[in-house]
Structure 1
């Protein structure tokens, strides 16, 4: 595998290109490094809607992230990572005032658990899709997270393996752009 550049050098843009012939697979490019990834089960879309299973075609800044501290040590990164707790949830109920926001349990409206039983959100970066400027039903919880075995499709996120995530995290900063083509 090729190195990105210098371990201290950050990248401004990470490019996510569709993989040939497979709508739910992609190639993540970080500098000269190319990494296999999974995207939404419905492929990519320029008209993202809540629950459509598609990854938005967009340039999304990395805002922050979450770390499952009971499973992983602090990785080398300048990104702010918040340690997940069982009470942390992400609201995906489009009619709720906390839509596409971190909320605390107990919380009855539709949501995702941030401290999952599987490993998908052990390292999970929040992408600025419908976060800083929210629109009802425009999609929520678009994350850059860890992959399921076999690179199974996501619900609309971008996912890579844990070793690959740990390789690219040192090059990311708050504001690094993930551009899905």
Structure 2
């Protein structure tokens, strides 16, 4: 909740409209059609079998919307045109799904020490994951494809977006 305090503060941006846009974007990303909604679906879905579309939707809400806000907030602050905001949102969409697939892979491939959290928890809780649905190799291929797709969304930025490209690569390469 402190994030709302920070982005609504007049020191964040002198234009109250920009602060309002930031608050609205964060509220949407965090609320029932964002992280909270995704978390609710995730908890309610333990022991159930979701198909790929349902798992994708869950992770777009749970993780993707927060990534999208993080990417789009700078564009809101800079009063960037909608086309730039859409490119960043699309990047975050694909990068967020790649992140989640890699998280699912790490849950089955890495140790608890490497993860910094309990490994194998998704299997123990009978969660529907991309690895459970696709298998390890296909999940890895899907994460790579989404990483490439995310990077392609940044074509309008030239070299300015190299840090975002590096983040997308890191997302799928972590734990190797």
Between Structure 1 and Structure 2, the one with more helix by share is 2
TM-score over 0.5 for the alignment? Answer: no
Between Structure 1 and Structure 2, the one with more strand by share is 1
- Normalising to structure 2: TM-score of the pair? 0.23
The answer to which structure, 1 or 2, has the higher relative contact order (CA under 8 A, 6+ apart) is 1
Question: Max radius of gyration: which structure?
Answer: 2
- Normalising to structure 1: TM-score of the pair? 0.23
